[in-house]
Amino acid sequence: MPITTTRGEPGTGDAGIVTVTVDFPPVNALPSAAWFELADTILAAGADESTHAVILRAEGRGFNAGVDIKEMQATTGFDALIAANQGCAAAFSAVYDCAVPVIVAVNGFCVGGGIGLVGNADVIVASDDAVFGLPEVDRGALGAATHLARLMPQHMMRTLYYTAQNATAQQLHQFGSVYRVVPREELLDAALDVARMIATKDTRVIRRAKAAINGIDPVDVKNSYLLEQRYTYELNLAGVADEHRDAFVAEGQKGTK
């Protein structure tokens, strides 16, 4: 199944750890329905009082490649675009609103919507081949600068946003946003190490700690992201976004011939 949930063995230190795994080959570009499913899965895991921590990870070549642009371009009208934007907003919010800390384990590429998930997480561990970025301007869209700004200094965020370049896991570790960088084969263990430390604490305290930290956040991540999406909708209504998405799909079709 594309989105699966596993819980640590009862009677062990992992019993309170829930791992959510995403697997949408070939690149984990999620269709709109999957963003809503991911949101529901994460919120449900946190709502269970026996959960102490959630790990969000992915199988395959990379952690997340954003929305499924091919799905969007194969649909007439704006329904697919609206669903994708609302689904992303729901999933990003779910990571933020999950009642317990969410640890993301990032392998390979984390771009587009992946930045929204990671930027709203509590703890980030990454493989040494992980890269983070927003190719939105190359797709005629905007969004998730809100979350990229939580990962790096302001001027670096602006530079990477305007140029659609990526930052490495090592750079984000230097900035202080990535907790650990490890070989890919050690990634899940690194995430479990953090989750186990959290799981030993009184979950009643940790749940209130997360609520408190969210409450003192200097940026309202939900409204900030919605403001970005306002300009994305403008670009779509103007026809600019379709030009770039069509070009992206056409380029991908060339590569498969």
Q: Is 200 inside a domain boundary?
A: no
Q: Is 196 inside a domain boundary?
A: no
Domain count across the chain = 1
pLDDT digits (tens, 9 = 90+) for 62-81: 999 999 888 877 777 788 88
Q: Provide the domain limits for residue 82.
A: 3-185+221-255
Q: Is 210 inside a domain boundary?
A: no
Mean pLDDT of the chain: 93
pLDDT digits (tens, 9 = 90+) for 97-119: 999 999 999 999 999 999 999 99
The model scores a pTM over 0.75: yes
Q: Is 247 inside a domain boundary?
A: yes
Q: Give me the CATH number covering residue 237.
A: 3.90.226.10
Q: Is 204 inside a domain boundary?
A: no
Which residue blocks in the chain are alpha helix, DSSP H? 32-47, 69-73, 79-97, 113-119, 145-148, 154-163, 169-175, 187-199, 203-215, 221-237, 240-255
Q: Is 128 inside a domain boundary?
A: yes
Using the predicted structure, report yes or no on whether residue 256 has a pLDDT greater than 70. no
Chain centroid to Cα 208, Å, comes to 23
Q: Which of 135, 134, 123, 127 is nearest to 108 (CA)?
A: 127
